Structure 1
Amino acid sequence: MSLTTAFERRDLPLEHEFAIARESAAVAETVVVRIEDEAGVTGVGAAAPSAHYGETVATVEAVLPDLLGVVEAVGDPTNLQRIEAEMERVVRANPAARAAVSIACHDYAAKRAGMPLYRYWGLDPARTVASSFTIGLDTTERMRAKTRDAVAAGYDVLKVKLGTERDREIVEAVRDAAPDATVRVDANEAWTPREAVANTEWLAALDVEFLEQPVPAENPDGMRFVREHGALPVAADESCVTLADVPEVADIADIANVKLMKCGGPREARRLFAAARAHGLEVMLGCMVESNAAIAAAHHLVPLVDYADLDGSLLLADDPYDGVPMPGGDIDLAAVDRAGTGARRADAGDSANDA
């Protein structure tokens, strides 16, 4: 099979500057990958690298020629087992870069099969869960206003970023603006274990569902302390990166937050789901700030998880790709009317292979 592969950097402005406890950004730096055969069947994927995990756009661009060279050498993008084994042999780290290629191969394989990706995997579209909508750090009043906007747009599950001296004030403002919403909070490693335990008391009183990554990943004993003494379930994000992390996460948290950009793509994410289940963990599927070229694939995995946090493309001012319909956070896989992940250039026509 004759294949053509390519990649392109796309810097995507955000609708609002997005801040968490350790950083803020006004632009999402992405790299879009394309794989095309001689018949014009095209698979698309994208990398959304995070410097926190040791990746940048520059590192992604540096390794993509080798990763795409693997696909060309194998010659069949549907041979996912061989491609992913060879990619890991050639480039052991760089999970976002590997995820971009893996997503493109999955998109291609499902298009070749003539079905949406969830059907290619044999998943039930009726088993999806609603995605949360993220309220990034800002002034308290702007976070209150963003909450009101999210509720008005139909989102009834909210994820609130914390890690400031105003945390209680912020959650009270969010709860005031969204009294009936399901609220989750994410401290992004900003608290000490004792601060986290104390904070869970008032968070529980404000009807928060669970607390994500309260203390640094480098302090597993601190996470365990929060889990054992706090008043809320604990989700592990920065503590849960690869498959090898799952056994320890099961000892220090209740929920594993799996992200394609952390673990290397959809196939590896499914292995993390299975390991998490085997260790008694619930599973959340999360994301970075991503284009639909990447995040659409994650939407198709939602029937396998307990919680979804897949709003990354909604934070962009203008995504060049359309994806899976998600009105008010409801991930509507049954509405995907084309084969593959559903990612398609926003300016494309009706061709099923337009990517």
Structure 2
Amino acid sequence: MTLSTEFERVTLELDDAFTISRGTTTETENVVVRITDEGGMTGVGGAAPSPHYGETADTVAAVLPELLDVVEEIDDPHGIHEIERRLREVVCDNPAARCAVSIALHDLAAKRLGVPLYRLWGLDPDAAPTSSYTIGLDTVDRVREKTERAVETGYDVLKLKLGTDRDRELVEAVREAAPDARLRIDANEAWTPRETVAKSSWLAEYGVEFIEQPVSAENPEGLRFAYERSELPIAADESCVTLSDIPKIADRADIANLKLMKCGGLEEARRMIATARAHGLEVMLGCMVESNASIAAGCHLAPLLDYADLDGSLLLAEDPYAGIDLPEGEIRLGDTDRAGTGARRLD
């Protein structure tokens, strides 16, 4: 067998400016990896690097040749455990770069066996939770408009970004526009521990399900303070990056929020899910703003989750890749008989 590899950088415009407490994004740059076997079958994977975690498209492009050399040297798309171990040895950081390779390998391996990825793992497609749809920070009127549009489209699980001096007004606007929607809050580290506790009280009155990462990841004791006193469950995102973080958040959060781009690959994500379960945590899988070249793979993990936040490709003006259908946020794995992750280029 002779595997060949390549990658390309792809600039993606967002459908609307996307703002969180740390700043605003109007476009994102993903890097797409392709691994092709001797018969011409190709696996596709995407990297959506985040500067918050020290990665950019430049750093991904810089390390990918070395990572792809490992793939070509081992030359076996089914040798995923060995390859991912070697990838970590070659590049210990740059998880988004390693993740793109991991996704492409899984896609190719499942395609060679003629099955969707979830079947390769033996998962029940009907167990997938509905994905949330994210409403970014904006003016109160714009947040209301975005919520109305999301509801009209059919989304009934919403995640609202907070971290301003008008948080309560924003929540009120969302509740006016979507009184029956399941609502989750993400502060992206913007609150103090005491602020979190105070806001949890009135957020509970609006029927919020949980609060995601209210406190800085650099303040683990503050996160514990909030967790022990909050009237709502706490999800750890920025505090939950790699496998070793799971035990550290077990007494500071109710929910572990994983992201493929943080942990470095699908095998590591499955280990994190199992470890979170062993520590009594619920599990959510989130995403960056990213193409279906990577979102599709995350969808195949959905049957293992309690919560899904896999709307990254839905925030794009145009995605060059198709993936798993997410009508109204439903992750319809059972509707596809396409082998692999289901990611495929549209042109």
SS of the aligned residue for 1:87 comes to helix
Q: Which residue of 2 aligns with 1:281?
A: 281
Q: Distance in 1 between matches of 2:341 and 2:143?
A: 32
Q: Which residue of 1 aligns with 2:235?
A: 235
Deviation track 1:284-328 (CA, whole Å, cap 9, x = no partner) reads 010000100011000000000100000000000000000001100
Deviation track 1:121-179 (CA, whole Å, cap 9, x = no partner) reads 11001101000000001111111110011111110000000001110000010011000
Whether 1:48 aligns to 2:48 is yes
Counterpart of 1:310, as a letter, is: L
Q: Which residue of 1 aligns with 2:304?
A: 304
Q: Distance in 1 between matches of 2:5 and 2:316?
A: 26
Whether 1:255 aligns to 2:232 is no
Aligned residues: 347
SS of the aligned residue for 1:243 comes to coil
Q: Distance in 2 between matches of 1:32 and 1:144?
A: 35
RMSD: 0.6
Counterpart of 1:262, as a letter, is: K
Q: Which residue of 2 aligns with 1:84?
A: 84
Q: Which residue of 2 aligns with 1:199?
A: 199
Moved over 3 A (4+): none
Q: Which residue of 2 aligns with 1:132?
A: 132
Q: Which residue of 2 aligns with 1:190?
A: 190
Counterpart of 1:12, as a letter, is: L
Q: Distance in 2 between matches of 1:148 and 1:249?
A: 35
SS of the aligned residue for 1:317 comes to coil
Question: What's the offset of the Cα at 1:38?
Answer: 1.6
Q: Distance in 1 between matches of 2:336 and 2:142?
A: 34
Question: What's the offset of the Cα at 1:37?
Answer: 1.1
Question: What's the offset of the Cα at 1:67?
Answer: 0.5
TM-score, normalised via structure 1 length: 0.97
Counterpart of 1:89, as a letter, is: E
Q: Which residue of 2 aligns with 1:224?
A: 224
Q: Which residue of 1 aligns with 2:154?
A: 154
Structure 2 residues not aligned, in runs of 5+? none
TM-score, normalised via structure 2 length: 0.99
Q: Which residue of 1 aligns with 2:111?
A: 111
Deviation track 1:198-231 (CA, whole Å, cap 9, x = no partner) reads 0001100111000000010010111111111111
Question: What's the offset of the Cα at 1:337?
Answer: 2.6
Q: Distance in 2 between matches of 1:271 and 1:50?
A: 22
SS of the aligned residue for 1:76 comes to coil
Q: Which residue of 2 aligns with 1:351?
A: none
Counterpart of 1:235, as a letter, is: A
Counterpart of 2:164, as a letter, is: T
Structure 1 residues not aligned, in runs of 5+? 348-355
Alignment of 1:310-329 (within 5 A): 310-329=310-329
Deviation track 1:31-68 (CA, whole Å, cap 9, x = no partner) reads 00000012011000010000101111110000000100
SS of the aligned residue for 1:18 comes to strand
Percentage identity across paired residues of the two chains: 67
Counterpart of 1:245, as a letter, is: D
Q: Distance in 1 between matches of 2:253 and 2:4?
A: 44
SS of the aligned residue for 2:36 comes to strand
